[in-house]
């Protein structure tokens, strides 16, 4: 089925107004970025008709592309102004990375599932995003060679915030992460770094797939 681009752009616009702006996301730059990125190019072909609906969608390998509103909210919490270097853990489809790339200088994103890292890399290249660097690996370790980051966003739930991520956050940086377990409660949490201190602000209940790898052995 071929759905025309004008129609999709209209759906995208409606998504921004009804699902995102009306729920309280105010940052115009974030809203504009979401208006620009063709979310339907980040979902499997059979889900294109649902790409602008108000829920997460499967992207293969048991993983999901987050609900549009959640992507917007996490992005807004990073308070990006343009010059930042941002680390994302959990590339998935590459959609969140694409949004971030329009709002900061450089995006570094780590994906645990190699095949997802590969398809996201190709997709982002094809769509012309030049300031996104994708790597396959365990995001628990962050990306030490490129640290520090003014913003870090983790798009999988974790019972604890990995120490390497905290260590790689710049002074006054923001770290946004769903804290909680796979089947228990999860709270989207904003950590602000103030020197050696991290001030945690709970934002709202969320539901994410779990962060895998090292953190699973490390969470007692
Ligand atoms: N941000 C994505 C959605 C991510 S879903 C998007 O915009 O599409 C969560 C992703 O985190 C999945 O792709 C999953 O494979 C990945 N993931 C899980 N554990 C990880 C880890 N330890 N390091 C990096 N990525 C991880």
Residue-wise pLDDT tens digits, 1-34: 456 889 999 999 999 999 999 999 999 999 999 9
Within a domain: 159:
yes
Among protein residues, the one with the nearest Cα to ligand 1's atom 2 is 92
Q: Is 128 left (phi over 0), alpha (psi -120 to 50) or beta?
A: left
Residue-wise pLDDT tens digits, 174-220: 999 999 998 889 999 999 999 889 999 999 999 999 999 999 986 54
Within a domain: 90:
yes
Within a domain: 48:
no
Cβ atoms of 202 and 187 within 8 Å: the answer is yes
Q: Which residues line ligand 1 (CB under 6 A)?
A: 59, 63-66, 89-90, 92-93, 95-96, 110-113, 116, 138-140, 155-156, 209, 211-213
Within a domain: 27:
no
Residue-wise pLDDT tens digits, 103-135: 999 999 999 999 999 999 999 999 999 999 999
H/E segment holding residue 188: strand 186-194
Q: Pick the atom of ligand 1 nearest to 211's CA.
A: 19
Report the predicted TM-score, pTM, of the whole model to 2 decimal places.
0.96
Identify the CATH number of the domain in which residue 146 sits. 3.40.50.150
Within a domain: 91:
yes
Q: How many domains does the chain have?
A: 1
Within a domain: 180:
yes
Could you confirm whether 172 is annotated as catalytic? no
Question: Which structural domain, as residue segments, surrounds residue 152?
Answer: 55-217
Cβ atoms of 178 and 156 within 8 Å: the answer is yes
Within a domain: 190:
yes
For residue 24, the CA-to-ligand 1 centroid distance in Å is 26
Residue with tokens 């752009």: 9
Residue 208: closest CA among 37, 24, 115, 73: 73
């Amino acid at each position: 089925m071929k759905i025309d681009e004008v129609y999709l752009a209209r759906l995208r616009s409606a998504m921004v107004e009804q699902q995102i702006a009306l729920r309280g996301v105010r940052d115009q730059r974030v809203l504009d970025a979401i208006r620009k990125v063709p979310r339907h190019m980040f979902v499997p072909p059979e889900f294109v008709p649902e790409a602008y609906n108000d829920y997460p969608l499967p992207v293969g390998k048991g993983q999901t592309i987050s609900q549009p509103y959640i992507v917007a909210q996490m992005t807004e919490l990073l308070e990006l102004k343009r010059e930042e270097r941002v680390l994302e853990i959990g590339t998935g489809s590459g959609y969140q990375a694409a949004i971030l790339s329009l709002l900061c200088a450089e995006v570094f994103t780590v994906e645990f599932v190699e095949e997802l890292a590969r398809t996201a890399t190709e997709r982002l290249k094809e769509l012309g995003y030049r300031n996104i660097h994708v790597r396959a690996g365990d995001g628990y370790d962050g990306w030490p060679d490129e640290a520090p980051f003014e913003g870090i966003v983790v798009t999988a739930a974790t019972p604890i915030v990995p120490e390497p991520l905290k260590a790689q956050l710049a002074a006054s940086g923001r770290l946004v992460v769903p804290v909680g377990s796979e089947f228990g409660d999860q709270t989207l949490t904003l950590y602000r770094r103030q020197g050696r201190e991290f001030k945690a602000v709970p934002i709202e209940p969320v539901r994410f797939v779990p962060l895998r790898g090292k953190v699973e052995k490390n969470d007692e």
